[in-house]
Chain A
Amino acid sequence: EHLHTQELSIPPGSCIQYTFPPLFFYRPNLWWPNGMGKQSLYTVVITVDVKDYGESDSWSHLFGFRKIESTIDEATGGRLFKVNGEPIFVRGGNWILSDGLLRLSDKRYSTDIKFHADMNLNMIRCWGGGLAERPEFYHYCDIYGLLVWQEFWITGDVDGRGDPISNPNGPLDHDLFLVCAMDTIKLLRNHPSLALWVGGNEQIPPDDINIALKNNLKLHPYFESMGGV
């Protein structure tokens, strides 16, 4: 059930998109945030073998089955989170980066994130004035059960506030911002710890950026029609 092979023919010099038939899992081990259960992870391996050549490429990633929902509570204005249908009391830590000289070693990420888990936190918010964090950061958040609130690179203090008032229209090159955003989304989207994308810190991005981000991050219509839990 958890294995599928498909024979394909690809024209020369071309790029195709292929969607596997959905793989069925009966009562999968779910991925839970720190304190709510285990961080069960499955290894997904994709390989492509070319006739008369052999293995041509291979890709693998840890995958966690989880469903994260969040809504704004009308009474308090706060954001309520559910993971796998269960409400979660979020205890979050604010994160800028591991080191101001960007010495972002694997060991450093492992230690820093385990420390957050040991402090009984279950979410890390990556502030918009810092980094889109690296896959190694997300890897350890997957392992230790830290949900990640990832902001894009807009801050009110630089984009629209300050003295004198800074440019409220965000970065000069909006297309460049969106190229970087879309590439970042593709880099990080398969991590189960990734819980929420946010446009920026204390600031809504310029309209065109905000609309483009919302469009690019909204659920694919196929999954909207897939029913639910």
Chain B
Amino acid sequence: MVEIGKKKLDSGWIAARSTEVDLNGVQLTTTHPPSTTDLSSPWIEAVVPGTVLGTLLKNKLVPDPFYGLNNETIIDIADSGREYYTFWFFTTFQCALLEHQHVDLNFRALNYSAEVYVNGHIRILPKGMFRRHSLDVTDILHPDGQNLLAVLVNPPDHPGKIPPQGGQGGDHEIGKDVAAQYVEGWDWMTPIRDRNTGIWDEVTIFVTGPVKIVEPHLVSTFYDNYERAYLHCTTELENRSAWAVDCSLNIQVTADLEGNFCLV
């Protein structure tokens, strides 16, 4: 039985440069899952959440860019081409659902766009570094066994070139994308060679029953010089089942006192 709630997928990830992988996402998540045991395999241990450069550093394939002039020895995306920093990420997870349970696969942020494959099914994640993506994968999970997840992550569309003299924001191309702009270098920072490409924030699977709580919003108002206060809460509720549900919605506010005591 799977309990409702969140489970982070932050271990067991492997990665490979897209140009070194001959298989497509459907094959990777069905008949040909990757392995790191073969010495000629392009797959390496990955940092998720993290960037491509972080994964390369973890595997000692680049020197630490923040020591000395090491960054100068790492090839910049403008010179290598975007495909050099376009990477596959792969992991597996278990999730045996009960009847009427639903599961979302969530990416809290990735840079810049991606194709997601789960057990051979493709989902396209649109562009944008600062947005969440939530995929309902209930119907494509394997109920008793491993689920295969592969993500092809593309760098920003306009990674830009770093002028010889440097300068704030390089050649300014990165400003065309909705992404962090410091990555072309600034007066306090060397250029980030992969422009922070990667699954840079947490990946989770989230299990719910038929009804899901969506984006609650909390607001307070005050009266009589803060003697009286009201907590206002609005939420969305999504019924994912095929029948009308009767449900009981509950809100409870507690104050944590000192010494692990809780005031209800």
Taking a contact as CB atoms under 8 Å apart, the answer to whether B178 and A5 are in contact is no
Contacting pair A26 B253 (CB below 8 A): no
For the complex, count residues of A whose C-beta is within 8 A of B: 96
Does A162 belong to the interface (CB within 8 Å)?
Answer: yes
CB atoms of B218 and A190 under 8 A apart = yes
* B-chain residues with CB within 8 Å of residue A177 when the two chains form the complex: 178
| Residue B261, interface by CB 8 Å | no
Asked if B131 lies at the interface with its beta carbon under 8 angstroms from chain A, I say yes
| Min CB–CB distance B143 → chain A (angstroms) | 18
Whether B227 sits at the interface, judged by CB under 8 Å, is yes
State whether B230 touches A190 (Cβ < 8 A). no
- Residues from chain A with a CB closer than 8 A to the CB of B200 are 102, 104
- Asked if B192 and A19 sit within 8 Å, CB to CB, the answer is no
The CA-CA distance from A153 to B212 in the complex, in Å, is 31
* Nearest A residue (CB) for B160: A158
Residues of B within 8 A of A158 (CB): 168-169, 172, 174-175, 181, 184
Contact among A15, A103, A170 with B238 in the assembled complex (CB-CB below 8 Å) = A15
- Say yes or no: A155 contacts B169, CB within 8 Å: yes
B243 contacts chain A at the CB level, 8 A cutoff:
yes
Q: Does A58 contact B (CB under 8 A)?
A: yes
Closest to B248 in A: A49
* Chain B residue at smallest Cβ distance from A2: B253
A104-B49, A153-B130, A189-B217 are contacts. A171–B175 as well, Cβ < 8 Å? yes
When the two chains form their complex, are residues A102 and B226 in contact, meaning their CB atoms are under 8 A apart?
no
CA distance A150 to B249 in the complex (A): 33
For A8, the chain B residues whose CB sits under 8 A away are 237, 246-249
Determine whether the beta carbon of B128 is less than 8 Å from that of A96. no
Segment of B19-27, B38-46, B203-211 in the binding face: B203-211
List A contacts of B67 (CB < 8 A). Answer: none
Q: What does DSSP make chain B's interface, helix, strand, loop or mixed?
A: mixed
Q: How far is the CA of A167 from the CA of B169 in the complex (A)?
A: 12
- Interface centre among A3, A26, A53, by most B CB within 10 Å? A53
Of A84, A128, A129, A176, the most chain B CB neighbours within 10 A belong to A129
Contact A63–B218 (Cβ < 8 Å): yes
Q: Complex: how many Å from CA A190 to CA B174? A: 30
Interface residues of B in 141-182 (CB under 8 A from A): 167-169, 172, 174-182
Q: Are B248 and A103 in contact (CB under 8 A)?
A: no
When the two chains form their complex, are residues B230 and A55 in contact, meaning their CB atoms are under 8 A apart? no
- Contacting B at CB under 8 A, from A1-46, are 2-20, 22-30, 40-46
Bitwise interface map of B from 215 to 244 toward A, beta carbon under 8 Å scored 1, else 0: 111111111111111111111111111111
B1 → A minimal CB distance (Å):
12
B50: chain A residues within 8 A (beta carbon): 101-103
B168 touches A162 (CB 8 A): yes
CB of A88 closer than 8 Å to a CB of B: no
Cβ–Cβ contact B223 & A227, under 8 A: yes
Chain B residues lying within 8 Å of A24, measured Cβ to Cβ, are 228-230
Residue A130 at the chain B interface, CB threshold 8 Å: yes
B251 close to A46 (CB less than 8 A) = yes
A45 to B255, CA, bound (A): 11
A15 in contact with B239 (CB, 8 Å): yes
The 9 A-B residue pairs with the shortest CB-CB distance, nearest first, are A56-B209, A158-B175, A166-B172, A158-B169, A22-B230, A157-B168, A10-B239, A2-B253, A129-B181
Taking A12-B242, A29-B255, A50-B246 as known contacts, 10 extra A-B pairs with beta carbons closer than 8 A to each other, sorted by chain A number, are A12-B244, A20-B249, A27-B226, A28-B229, A43-B256, A59-B216, A102-B54, A153-B129, A158-B184, A176-B126
Q: Which residues of A contact B (CB under 8 A)?
A: 2-20, 22-30, 40-51, 53-59, 61, 63, 65-67, 84-85, 96-97, 100-104, 128-132, 134, 153, 155, 157-159, 162-163, 166-167, 170-173, 176-177, 179-181, 183-184, 186-187, 189-190, 223, 226-229
